[in-house]
Structure 1
């Protein structure tokens, strides 16, 4: 969810729905609806030139064209705005050089090249596009090295190339600079988003909160970042508060609805949580049916419900619109889970392998591959070794991945060397899941050869957990019996009250104390049915 905040540039701002052209030598303006823009931007440029419109207005129109999917018109306006003849004429008319506007055009063109490079599959074409973006940003930097927009663009370029260290340096500098001599939150957002993607959630959260203190009127997306960090850190109340605040500021935020849906899905009341979460998730989908996070969460939900066909369809839909290898890996992992559950093991294995190559820090593909190996035959030692290797990879990147730990523990129980290497992860997992009897029993089994005292303590914990569970079940049975008894008494009291109200003898209705067989008198049929019934 925080990924969107990394844009930070002028291009990342939403395009206006209407652009105003100031009329020369007048206080009037002409409003132009962006839906009515001419297909050929030359006609518009002639009007802008005739009215000596500021280059900032040119850029507004360029973004409007881009928002409509007309990248050629966007490029043409930006390139025209950078022409020397135009710059000289603007400087002559307004009395100052339009340096910031030139930087806007150059950074906008660079951002377009980077966006294309992210979608490009041909390596050489991608390199050429990134090289062109570098050239444009260097031109912008030569105009003013202290302009925030330049360093936001350079940071995005380094991030697109995969050099997060250089990206971090550029975003850090951008956070200390101004945008056209005005302080804003873009640099902080870009740096915080980078930290988030590097899984430095505490540091990202501190930066988001500091930005909120410095810019109380900042856009809603900053609070989205706070909510996303709180969610990753397990602070569900903090995340819920942040996402709820986002919806107060922007009711149409699909990200906020998605965040609240995920929180609901983690509710201790699973049934109610799933129902409430699904409502939020459906609303997020209605707001943005192409949102990768929404589609992936829908895929998770469908897997949980056992609808493998829909899970696969939504995961593939997400895969078709994602922009980074990490997100592609997640989409592929979900596709693989759906195929795996449906019995298409060969396709699932291929998807798991693709996901693992794209993002080595994603644990789910390794769990899936381990299960594929085990399916090939538990008696096969090679399969067991391969499965253990994959599970160890999963645990290295996600030490608290309980599903992987439980399977691995069963596979390595007879291998003291592997047990000694992974035992700390099991100890930590059991401590985190203090009510999970299965995890404590597995820990006890692994500790028994090397730490009998620790194993005995763990076994005692298992017994207490089972006793507590049995006691809880017994209390539940007693409570259910009490409710049933109370319901019978209430029903009997109601029948008695109804009989009293109708002047019916209770002995006739319910049977007297002397009625040994307890059979109600025939009059009961008359009361219940409203008419006498023939005895059978």
Structure 2
């Protein structure tokens, strides 16, 4: 298309860039988005796409450049839901919750796209969660999940957040169910395995709790808390193995300069 019509509309180059991005051809995708901006420096979609690519670099320079592009997109068109979501995410980490909620509510008002709305609800949920408002956080985590048609593989983070909130509220079965959904996507996530180990202990499912705690210690043999959890589970059935687990936890804590709890000494 470009060879036959080198002066084609920016939308064509934008579409090619998105296809390249989906195929993992990131350099060619970036070239296409850059060409869109050369033709039209105010193209919001290209700015957001390049901003996302910069943010995914996961280094300080990429983060700064990515946020600058999102800010630029927002200034050109203050109702771009993707830019609003990324800016809200940035302000969440700087602790500016008023801005998180303001930007996210605007994103929700202007978007009908399920995955975008899911990210907006997730941003709101995290903001309320970090402020200790677990009821509101739970409501927004559930809204985020609903927008993905209850498919954890589409966007798993709201399930983890909802599991944490339900644990705080004493809704143990619901919490376990949501953490299990996280494991469907990330079967080797140690934080989720430990959370389920503790939950199943409280629910009286000791065998399942042991299975998850053992797996956590194997996946991350430097996680002292996983060994503490394992020791606590084994103490009534296998004292020797429990002492070994506590000994390992103590060694790891000392090595990491952590204070060793009395029960592990």
Specify if TM > 0.5: yes
CA–CA distance in structure 2, aligned partners of residues 225 and 418 of structure 1: 47
1:366-445 to 2 correspondence within 5 Å?
366-376=159-169, 383=172, 385-396=173-184, 399-400=185-186, 405-413=189-197, 415=208, 440-441=219-220
How far did residue 321 of structure 1 move?
0.5
Query: CA separation of 1:400/1:227 partners in 2, compared to 1, >3 Å: closer, same or farther?
Result: farther
- 2: CA distance, partners of 1:353 / 1:440: 30
Q: 2:36 aligns with which of 246, 268, 291?
A: 246
Q: Does 1:267 align with 2:57?
A: yes
After TM superposition, the structure 1 = structure 2 runs for residues 93-242 of structure 1, keeping only pairs within 5 Å, are 217-231=7-21, 235-242=25-32
Deviation at 1:319, TM superposition (A): 0.4
Give the match's secondary structure for 2:110: coil
Are 2:118 and 1:334 equivalent residues in the alignment?
A: no
Kindly tell me: are residues 238 and 386 of structure 1, through their superposed partners in 2, closer, same or farther at Cα, counting changes over 3 Å? farther
Q: Deviation at 1:247? A: 0.9
Aligned to 1:285: 74
Q: Is the 8 A contact 1:371 1:387 kept in 2?
A: yes
Of the three residues 346, 354, 357, the one matched with 2:146 is 357
Distance in 1 of aligned mates of 2:221 and 2:5: 51
Provide the C-alpha distance between the structure 2 equivalents of 1:302 and 1:354, rounded to a whole number of angstroms.
21
Superposition pairs of residues 6-45 of structure 1, within 5 angstroms: none
Question: Is the Cα contact below 8 Å between 1:319 and 1:328 reproduced in 2?
Answer: yes
Larger radius of gyration: 1
1:401–1:252: structure 2 CA closer, same or farther, 3 Å change rule? farther
User: Cα offset for 1:239?
Assistant: 3.3
| TM-score, length-scaled by structure 2 | 0.66
How far does the alpha carbon of each residue in 1:45-85 deviate from its partner, in whole angstroms, 9 at most, with x for none?
xxxxxxxxxxxxxxxxxxxxxxxxxxxxxxxxxxxxxxxxx
**Gapped runs of 5+ residues in structure 2?**
198-206, 231-265
Shift of 1:302: 1.0
Contact 1:412 1:418 in 2 (8 A): no
Q: What do the CA deviations read for 1:470-524 (whole angstroms, capped 9, x no partner)?
A: xxxxxxxxxxxxxxxxxxxxxxxxxxxxxxxxxxxxxxxxxxxxxxxxxxxxxxx
In 2: Cα distance, 1:224 partner to 1:344 partner: 41
| Alignment check: 8 A CA contact 1:367 1:391 kept | yes
What is the CA distance between 1:217 and its match in structure 2?
4.5
On the 8 A contact 1:220/1:246 being kept in 2, the answer is: yes
Q: Could you say what secondary structure the match of 1:293 adopts?
A: helix
**1:53-92 counterparts in 2 under 5 A?**
none
TM-score (norm 1): 0.35
Hey, what does 1:32 align to over in structure 2?
none
Cα RMSD between the aligned structures? Answer: 3.6
Match of 1:309 in 2: 98
In the other structure, the counterpart of 1:523 is: none
Unaligned runs of 5+ in 1: 1-210, 427-437, 449-536
Match of 1:77 in 2: none
Equivalent residues of 1:302, 1:310 under 8 A apart: yes
**Structure possessing the higher relative contact order (Cα contacts under 8 Å, 6 or more residues apart):** 2
Contact 2:190-2:219 within 8 A present in 1 as well: no
Alignment of 1:480-499 (within 5 A): none
> What CA distance in whole angstroms lies between the structure 2 residues aligned with 1:333 and 1:318?
12
